[in-house]
A and B are shown apart, each in its own frame.
Chain A
Amino acid sequence: QPQLQESGPGLVKPSETLSLICTVSGDSISSSSYYWGWIRQPPGKGLEWIGSIYYSGTTYNNPSLNRRVTISVDTAKNQFSLRLTSVTAADTALYYCARGSIVGASTIREIYYFDYWGQGVLVTVSS
């Protein structure tokens, strides 16, 4: 089964950019069967999908975060990454990366559920 590992700074200053990398092992990020996603969870709260990417570079982001989110993929390194700009305290959360297994398609996008998750990395936004 695949292993996903998030990495990046645990502390980011307000108004700056949060950058995280997810390294995938035991699976190829270039597989046509999967999307790769980011989900976050503020401490003690619920889960929020941030966005997803296909190995080709096609992305699909949460509209509520879209203008601040960039997700990219590096197939050579079997990694994908997240950039979230202009962060505030509200962006403090555990950030998870996850694999999305494609099960179908709508008129707009592929349909997938998240079957394997990384252990998460806590990012605190504070000066």
Chain B
Amino acid sequence: EIVLTQSPGTLSLSPGERATLSCRASQTISSSYLAWYQQKSGQAPSLLIYGTSTRATGIPDRFSGSGSGTDFTLTISRLEPEDFAVYYCQQYGSSFTFGPGTKVDIK
């Protein structure tokens, strides 16, 4: 099973700042089958990014994904008030596993 580790566990930032979230896999993720989800309090997760770097429908371009192999990054270029949430990475190339999440909260 591919284990995903996310860092940091919590990221405290102010609106307008840049957020950089890391996701590291225990094995190479084939063909960059890596997705990112956003989960706001009391809501279901929603897809942000798939295939490492492709934004899902309706996702603003301040969200970007990058990486390959075992190291992946989600970047939010300028945080908007609605971006404060928990973010999960997920690999779907070898079964399905999720990372433990990074909480982005307001500083």
Contacts and interface: CB of A to CB of B under 8 A. Distances in A.
Contacts of A47: 37, 45, 88, 90, 98
Interface string A1-16: 1000000000000000
B63 interface: no
A118 interface: yes
Overall SS of chain A's interface: strand
A49 B44 contact: no
Given A104-B31, A115-B56, A49 B47 contact: no
Interface residues of B, number: 25
A106 B33 CA distance: 12
A102 to B, nearest CB: 11
Contacts of B47: 113-116
B67 to A, nearest CB: 16
A116 B45 CA distance: 9
Interface of B: 30-31, 33, 35, 37, 43-47, 50-51, 56-57, 88, 90, 92-93, 95-101
Interface of A: 1, 37, 46-49, 62-63, 96, 103-104, 106, 111-120
Instruction: Report the 7 A-B pairs with minimum CB-CB distance, sorted nearest first.
Output: A49-B96, A47-B98, A117-B44, A113-B50, A113-B35, A115-B47, A46-B100
